[in-house]
């Protein structure tokens, strides 16, 4: 086994830079779909949008998600104008054939949640769409959400 020299290590580092460079301006639209946002990132965006601390935004986000879950459980459907509709549905059971044995397998009905995005959300999230116009930001106390 040959020892690795400093020049070999530098060459390998330079070769790998393209894999770790996340701020590449030449990122294509297909690559952008691979970066999934999570609840923490969503809380950061809400905090930035409402000009409140991240902890407050996280609590607001938790309250909204919990309320949506409760309403979905109670009513079966939650519609948010400009965003989309979440609906609880029962997917019909059916018979499948096992690919190797050919035996018939019965699958029972399954309760699931579907999401149907609104037309507005579809248009706004297209890769070539213009950025959404933001409302002017004031003090966080100006909003009804944070009064009292």
The answer for residues whose C-beta is within 8 angstroms of residue 40's C-beta and 6 or more apart is 58
Confirm whether pTM is higher than 0.85. no
Nearest residue to 137 (alpha-carbon basis) of 50, 46, 43, 45: 50
* Band of pLDDT at residue 126, cut at 50, 70 and 90: confident
Beta strands, E only, the chain: 77-80, 84-91, 94-97, 104-107, 110-117
- Percent with pLDDT over 90 in the chain: 53
Helix (H, G, I), strand (E, B) or coil at 90: strand
Bridge partner residues of 113 (DSSP):
88
Kindly tell me if the per-residue pLDDT of 13 is higher than 80: no
Kindly tell me if the per-residue pLDDT of 144 is higher than 70: no
* Matching residue, tokens 């609590």: 59
Kindly tell me if the per-residue pLDDT of 12 is higher than 60: no
């Amino acid at each position: 086994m040959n020892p690795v020299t400093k020049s070999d290590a530098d060459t390998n580092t330079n070769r790998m830079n393209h894999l770790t460079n996340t701020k590449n301006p030449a990122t294509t639209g297909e690559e952008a779909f691979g970066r999934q946002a999570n609840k923490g990132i969503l809380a950061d965006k809400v905090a930035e949008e409402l000009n409140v601390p991240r902890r407050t935004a996280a609590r607001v986000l938790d309250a909204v998600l919990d309320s949506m879950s409760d309403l979905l459980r109670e009513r079966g459907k939650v519609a948010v104008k400009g965003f989309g509709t979440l609906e609880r549905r029962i997917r019909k059971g059916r018979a499948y054939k096992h690919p190797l044995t050919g035996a018939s397998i019965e699958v029972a009905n399954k309760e699931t949640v579907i999401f149907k995005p609104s037309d507005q959300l579809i248009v706004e999230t297209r890769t070539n769409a213009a950025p959404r116009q933001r409302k002017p930001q004031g003090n966080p106390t100006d909003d009804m959400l944070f009064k009292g």
